[in-house]
Amino acid sequence: MEIFDAITGRRSIRKFASKAVPKEVLLKILDAARWAPSACNRQLWEFVVVTDHDTKRQIADNACFKQKFLKEAPTLIVVFYDDTKERREESGPRKHDSIQSAAAAIQNMNLAAYALGIGSLWVCSIKNMMKLNKILRVPKRIRPVAIVALGYPRETPEAPPRRPLESLVHYEKFQQLQNSYPNSTDPRKWSLNELATFRGEICWYGGTIDPEFTLEKYNMESRAYQKLMAFFEEYDTPKSKVLDILPFGGGYLVGLLKRVEDPKRIHCFELSGSNVRFIRQNLKTFALSEPIFHVNRGNRLRIESEDVDLVTCFFRLEKLPDPEAMLAEIHRVLKDSGHVLLATELRGMGRLGHIVQTPKRKNLHTSRLWSTGPSVLFSKGEFFKMITLGNFKIIHQELYREDGWIKSIGKQIARSEGVTLLALLEKT
């Protein structure tokens, strides 16, 4: 196979046939890893090949977020790298030599597998590294880097989009992109136009970056997600007109679409056409028919829809420059008898954590919000005040903690995270 055909034709495969990967094919794939470059030619990588069903199940369930395809794939290659030397010697900024070397070996394996007709998936969502070491009896000093799932492909996915070359190559000096954003995690420092452009671009550049979307796609549904969907099932009726506010990657939207017979009674409001195109492409993966999309125009929020029975707004108000304006629009398009299903994470009780974190949180690029955009959590008081001033009242509410009480309170103090609030609103 031509090298460029392999580079562009290889896809991440997430559905595998049960047929085993023959030993001689597996050895060729592993041999390709051996020929990868490594820092100082140290070659401190180790590969554990796993085919035993029970071990694969243990890896998936205990160490890797229960990712289904790790159990399905007939062969897993768990890639480790001994970075003891690197950690001892590297005093300056870490260049992650060991990870770079392991990554080169992994990509060699992916390309070799593709050339041999074998599908592969590079999995780095390892939740618990030590558990993985323990399951495979690997000494602690050797760290897991990733898992390569291998098998005969049972799907031929379309290529996810790539950033155009001109947007990422800089000649001689770095060229600032035309659209630069306020590098702030505070949405109130953004204009609606800036936010619309950012959301429209970051969804593509990050591929399937939206964690919620990934959750739905790979069967890793979180508690929050299940709660929201149960809430939706309770308050939706077969003839309701539903409006989903800012679906972004489409994670929650997929959940809603799966729960209705007629997709056309679901309307979605997004800020840019580019974002809608991204959602459409992602929906194809689920073979779900499209809902009706509405795109905002200009620097003022305006939803081109009316007589809505049920609005779903899951973790979105806190991401807007002017959440009050969004509430006002929701109020305008909602029937007098309509309901709003709202979810938001409330700011934690510990201001200390917030103060300590402030310098980091000021910068979007170094914060954990880089892929989903600016967001500022409301305090309980701010949130309830906003709802009342928006002419809504809460008729049902539930507070819950994703991680259980102890962990959640620890998180609240350390990182100023709070509890999640689910609320059902009615017009006053």
Residue ranges that bind ligand FMN, judged by CB under 6 A: 11-12, 14, 121-125, 159-160, 207-208, 218
Phi, psi angles (nearest 5°) of residue 85: -65, -45
Amino acid at 112: A
Q: How far is the CB of 124 from ligand FMN (least distance, A)?
A: 3
67 vs 416 by CB, closer to ligand FMN: 67
Residue 315 Cα to chain centre, angstroms: 14
| Cβ proximity to ligand FMN, 371 vs 379, nearer residue | 371
Query: Contact, 377 vs 408, CB < 8 A?
Result: no
Closest distance of CB 71 from ligand FMN, Å: 14
- Map 61-90 to HEC letters: HHHCCCCHHHHHCCEEEEEEEECHHHHHHC
What are the beta bridge partners of residue 243?
267, 311
Nearer to ligand FMN, 77 or 342 (CB): 77
User: What's the closest the beta carbon of residue 121 comes to ligand FMN, in angstroms?
Assistant: 6
Length of the chain: 428
> Which is nearer to ligand FMN, 69 or 198 (by Cβ)?
69
Residue 272: other Cβ atoms inside 10 A: 20
Smaller CB distance to ligand FMN: residue 95 or 385?
95
Measured from the CB atom, is 155 or 306 closer to ligand FMN? 155
The answer to whether residues 103 and 145 touch, using CB atoms and an 8 Å cutoff, is: yes
Q: How far is the CB of 223 from ligand FMN (least distance, A)?
A: 20
Antiparallel, parallel or unpaired: β 75-82 and 119-123? unpaired
DSSP state of 317: G
Quick one: 204 or 269, whose CB is closer to ligand FMN? 204
Closest distance to ligand FMN from the beta carbon of 158 (Å) = 9
Tokens of 414: 């350390």
Place of tokens 């809608």: 276
Considering the complex, what minimum distance in angstroms separates the CB of residue 174 from ligand FMN?
Answer: 24
Q: Tell the smallest beta-carbon distance from residue 259 to ligand FMN (Å).
A: 24
Reduced to 3 states, what is the DSSP secondary structure of residue 342?
Answer: strand
**Element holding 199 (H helix, E strand):** helix 192-205
To ligand FMN, the closest distance from the beta carbon of 149 in angstroms equals 9
d(Cα 42, Cα 30) in Å, to the nearest integer? 17
- In 3D space, the residue among 53, 189, 63 whose CA is nearest the CA of residue 138 turns out to be 63
Q: Which amino acid, residue 165?
A: L
- Rank residues 207 and 353 by Cβ distance to ligand FMN and give the closer one: 207
